[in-house]
Amino acid sequence: MVKAIFPGSFDPLTNGHLETIKTAAKMFDELFVVIMTNTQKKYLFDEKERVELAKKVLNPITNVEVIGRPLELTVDVARKLHASIIVRGLRNDADFNYEREIAQINKTLAPELNTVFLLTSPENSFISSSMIKETAMFGGDVTKLVPSEVAIGLKKKVNQHE
């Protein structure tokens, strides 16, 4: 049984993330979507909210489990879950350069783990969580860019901040 993790902050989960998750779920027996913390980011949703939103969206995919691990290294999470693969999504060449560096650090820390890069389709290649948040904060329609559950959650969250 091949287990993989797809770590990220998912603030919020986008259609690009969903595409990567669906592809990885077909490739691996079990996929853990791991809600983590990136200390370089400012979050709109807290960890619990991000986990709940992801669970709502991903519930129909039977071999995907969503878990929160905000204060752990990716390689430590993979080891604890007995995963041998780290999945990362790529939108463009800037993503590749950034993700390659992370994969190399992870390989140094945990040589037994491999990183698999999955390319997003052209229609999702421009979507980023930061652009989604910015668009939503100024009243823009993000319904074509995120799953419906996320669009609803964004609308509620933005209305709370007004």
The answer to whether the beta carbons of residues 5 and 81 sit under 8 Å apart is: yes
| Bridge partners, residue 31, by sequence | 4, 64
Q: Which of 41, 48, 80, 156 is catalytic?
A: 41
The answer to whether the beta carbons of residues 116 and 87 sit under 8 Å apart is: yes
Sheet holding 114-119, edge to edge: 64-68, 30-35, 3-8, 85-90, 114-119
What is d(CA 58, CA 30) in angstroms, rounded to the nearest whole number? 13
Q: Which of 9, 69, 88, 129 is catalytic?
A: 129
129 is annotated as an active-site residue: yes
Q: Which of 17, 50, 69, 88 is catalytic?
A: 17
The residues, any chain, with a CB within 8 Å of residue 151's CB and separated by 6 or more, are 142, 143
Q: Tell whether omega for the bond before 147 is within 30 degrees of 0, i.e. cis.
A: no
What is d(CA 47, CA 142) in angstroms, rounded to the nearest whole number? 21
Q: Which of 50, 69, 88, 91 is catalytic?
A: 91
Tell me the catalytic residues: 17, 41, 91, 129
